[in-house]
Amino acid sequence: MSRAARSAAHEAPHVIDIGGTRVALTLRRSSRRSFALQVDHRGARIAAPLQASLHDVERFVREHGQWLLDRLRARAAAAPRPFAVVDGALLPVLGRSLRLRLLDGRRAQWRLAADGIEELAIPAASDPARALVRALQSRALAWYRNRVDEFCLRIGRPAPAVRLSNARTRWGSCSSASGIRLHWRLIHLRPALIDYVVAHEVAHLVEMNHSPRFWAVVERLYPDWRGARVELRAASGQLPCLGTPVVSGVED
């Protein structure tokens, strides 16, 4: 078996009993050296080394069992309400307030209002929520491509194809075959925070791993990546509920 085959990550469902409560989780094995327990909108996820025994995996989960149960209950109680797409509603775009206007018309239009707030006029006669998402995705893709171009220029690499993602638990991904994918909901965040995710994925064009060499590339592109990572984790729970919430967790 090749080294690539041995180190390939894979996921499988698993159920564990924690103090009489059955918890369904996703077990992800990869070439990592430590365990990490996370909770997202679907439930619990445990990341483990490829060679870790199931006994060791379950021991780690049970050691953090109370945290896990508390986290699952808290997320269930704090599930965000869907964003109401109504005339005059405000939502963040590139870290600033955007005002929605539901008007007659056939297509979405971006404009600056007299009070200085950016507005997005969307057709009221069709499906406003769908029109809103499409307009945000179009804006996101144009923004991301520009930023990927900029960061690739800094490392002297040709810019790959850039596409949107709607992944459940990741802000971005990079593949030598398909290029870079970035979650469209990043468009809600301030530009400097989006740049951290872009820098992370562009760094994978140099190192397709999370080795010290990879993080050295990230630091060259985005020196304050540690602070941005913490901010991103906190911001993920504050975004308008138009799509998929992203992850919070603990690591060992």
Question: Is there a domain that residue 51 lies in?
Answer: yes
Q: pLDDT tens digits, residue range 63-103?
A: 999 999 988 888 766 666 788 899 999 999 999 999 999 98
Do both 142 and 215 map to the same domain? yes
Q: Assign 234 a pLDDT band (cuts: 50, 70, 90).
A: confident
Question: What's the Cα-to-Cα distance from 124 to each of 107, 110, 133, rounded to whole Å?
Answer: 10, 15, 14
Please tell me the predicted confidence (pLDDT) of residue 179: 95
Asked if pLDDT for residue 249 goes beyond 70, the answer is no
Answer yes or no: is 179 within a domain. Answer: yes
pLDDT of res. 216: 96
What domain range includes position 181? 130-251
Is the per-residue pLDDT at 237 higher than 80? no
Q: Do residues 247 and 145 share a domain?
A: yes
CATH number at residue 139: 3.30.2010.10
Q: Is residue 155 part of a domain?
A: yes
Domain termination residue (choose one: 43, 77, 111): 77
Sequence letter at residue 74: A
Looking at the structure, tell me whether residues 73 and 166 fall in a common domain: no
pLDDT score at 165: 92
Question: For 16-62, how does the pLDDT look when each residue is reduced to its tens digit (9 = 90+)?
Answer: 999 889 898 999 999 999 999 988 766 789 999 999 999 999 999 99
Q: How many domains does the chain have?
A: 2
From CA 156, how far away is CA 61, in angstroms rounded? 43
Q: What is the pLDDT of residue 80?
A: 62
Q: How large a percentage of the chain has pLDDT more than 70? A: 88
Residue 24 lies in a domain: yes
Let me know whether 135 and 230 are in one domain. yes
**Backbone phi, psi, residue 93, to 5°:** -140, 125
Do residues 70 and 168 share a domain?
no
Full-model pTM: 0.69
**What span, in angstroms and rounded, lies between the C-alpha atoms of 80 and 66?**
23
Look at residue 160 and tell me if it is in a domain: yes
Work out the pLDDT band at 167, boundaries 50, 70, 90. Answer: confident
Do 220 and 155 lie in a common domain? yes
Examine the pLDDT at 246 and tell me if it is beyond 70: no
Residues 6+ apart with CB under 8 A from 30: 7, 9, 10, 47, 48, 49, 50
As a whole number, the mean pLDDT across the chain is 88
Asked whether residue 134 falls in the same domain as residue 73, the answer is no
Q: Is 119 a member of any domain?
A: no
The reply to whether 138 and 245 lie within a common domain is yes
Residues 245 and 134 in one domain: yes
Last residue of a domain, one of 77, 96, 122: 77
194 within some domain? yes
Final residue belonging to a domain, choices 56, 77, 98: 77
pLDDT of the residue at 49: 94
User: Would strands 248-251 and 36-40 be described as parallel, antiparallel, or unpaired?
Assistant: antiparallel
In a domain, 199, yes or no: yes
Helix axes 191-203, 212-221, angle to 10 degrees: 140
Q: Do 45 and 156 belong to one domain? A: no
The token pair that represents 219 in the structure block: 């630091």
Flag whether pLDDT at 8 surpasses 70. Answer: no
